[in-house]
Structure 1
């Protein structure tokens, strides 16, 4: 039995179709990230799971039980919002235990649950403080603690780290990963940040215009993007996309004299004269060693950016651009011609008309 099952969920606002048939099944302990840009429908889907919005059609099952029409407090879920939503006049202890207090849980049992959550979140020393005395990261820990004490079947997180600065986001991301590994709870997590998705998820649902563009593990999403949208959205820097034409068993890169052999695994997927888009990740590129048999793109260096651990290099290949992430001490200069080599397995081909991977 799935911990959470979403069956053909659709949501209309008048004539506007926000969700266009979402199907997902989560096993107990999975960490699903709904990833996409603003307006793709990810928060709407989360609100339907939580009971804060009604689906136009479809069904949501938690623990095998349909929860459509069930009040949010009876769905056995706990939600952490982008805003901390803490009571400013209550101590951290009472904020964490407030839901249990409303359910008439005995004071001793409530105190034990609050202290256990505080221990897991490493905020035991803050229990007597009020929210106004806490940092943003501490407040977010309190909000997570309030969800933890509920011990629900499913945790729902709606962009919980977006209000934090970069350093705190990294710390809280690590904290959430540690908690999930420890508790093995089922989580649905909404974000537009692909780094959060890649580091936290056991599976990622990349959403676009109310649909799931691809559902898979972080490795599947990153290494084998199903569409051009996924390939471009996931990855920083994003995957290089080069327009090309199949010509005599080679990929002729548009606007240049560059030619590379069509990888064997694509021989049956492409036809002579067909237009394709060649995808290759920046980290899959390296400076060519000079071997004639080594597949490579001839380029001219345009921009060099040292980030510390890597050299982000933008080059021109004809009228198109190609980005490579190279070792930080790579000897390069603007305007210098060179060759970026790659392994054949690193190439991805896409149909420019449908946007789908070949």
Structure 2
């Protein structure tokens, strides 16, 4: 039995439709990330799962049971919000166990559950403190502990790390990954941060304008993006997109002819306009790896682990991620080569991937 089923879920506010038919089936133990920019509908979908918003159409099933119209407290879910939402006058111990307290769980059983979760989250020494005495990362652990202690069917996370600084976000990502691997819990996690999505998820649903652009594993999303939107949204720096035209067995742009990947010849036609995508990290300085592009360096940025080069190819732009010890200067001509297997082709009109 699936842990969570979302069947053709729609949501409209008057004439404005924010969710346009969402279908997702989530198995027990999966970690699903809803990824997208602000306004794409990911938080609306999470709120419908939680019961904080009602769907205009479709169905939501948890553990095989429809929960439409069911009160949030009866849905067997636990939610961690963007804000910590802790009770400032209660200790950490009582904050974690408050849900159990409201359900009249005996004190001894409640105390045991709270201590087990606190040990799991490595906050045993903080149980007597108030939230005002905690750091941001510690408060987020308490909020997660309050969800964990209930042992629900599905956990819902609404951008829980967005209020933390970069270092704490990285630490908490690691903690969430560790917890999921240990507990094998079913999680739906909302974020606009692609790094969080790629590192945490077993599957990612990339959302745009109330629809799912692609639902797949992180590897599939990164290596075989289904649309131009997914290709540019996932990856940092984003995928290079070059306007090309099919001529015979080549892709031509800016008087440069690149060999057409053999597997895609049958899917294209002479004179067809396409978009060629190449990841910046797939590019290598110098000829020899495969097809080569002559460019001129414009901006050179050392990030530490890599050298990011922004270059011009005629009227188009291209970015490359090179080894940090590479010596380059602005205005320097360079040749960038890449493996032909690293080429992604998209239809100009539909934005869909060509395979």
Give the TM bin, normalised by the shorter chain: over 0.9
* 2:50 aligned with 1:54: no
* 2:319 aligned with 1:318: no
Give the match for residue 335 of structure 1.
331
- 1:1-358 equivalences under 5 Å are 1-253=1-253, 256-289=254-287, 291=288, 294-358=290-354
Report the TM-score, using the length of structure 1 for normalisation: 0.98
Task: State the number of aligned residues.
Answer: 354
CA contact (8 A) 1:288 1:294 kept: no
Unaligned runs of 5+ in 1: none
**CA RMSD between the two structures:** 0.8
Q: Distance in 1 between matches of 2:135 and 2:39?
A: 30
Q: Distance in 2 between matches of 1:304 and 1:12?
A: 46
Per-residue deviation at 1:73? 0.3
The runs of at least 4 consecutive aligned structure 1 residues that moved more than 4 Å come to none
Q: Distance in 1 between matches of 2:55 and 2:25?
A: 17
SS in 2 for 1:142: helix
Of 244-253 and 342-351, more deviation after overlay is shown by 244-253
Per-residue deviation at 1:132? 0.3
Unaligned runs of 5+ in 2: none
Per-residue deviation at 1:333? 1.9
Q: Distance in 2 between matches of 1:299 and 1:204?
A: 35
CA contact (8 A) 1:304 1:314 kept: yes
Q: Distance in 2 between matches of 1:42 and 1:76?
A: 20
Q: Distance in 2 between matches of 1:165 and 1:265?
A: 45
SS in 2 for 1:168: helix
1:174-206 CA-partner distances (Å, limit 9, x unpaired)? 000000000000000000000000000000000
CA contact (8 A) 2:290 2:340 kept: no
Q: Distance in 2 between matches of 1:113 and 1:250?
A: 64
SS in 1 for 2:266: coil
Per-residue deviation at 1:294? 3.0
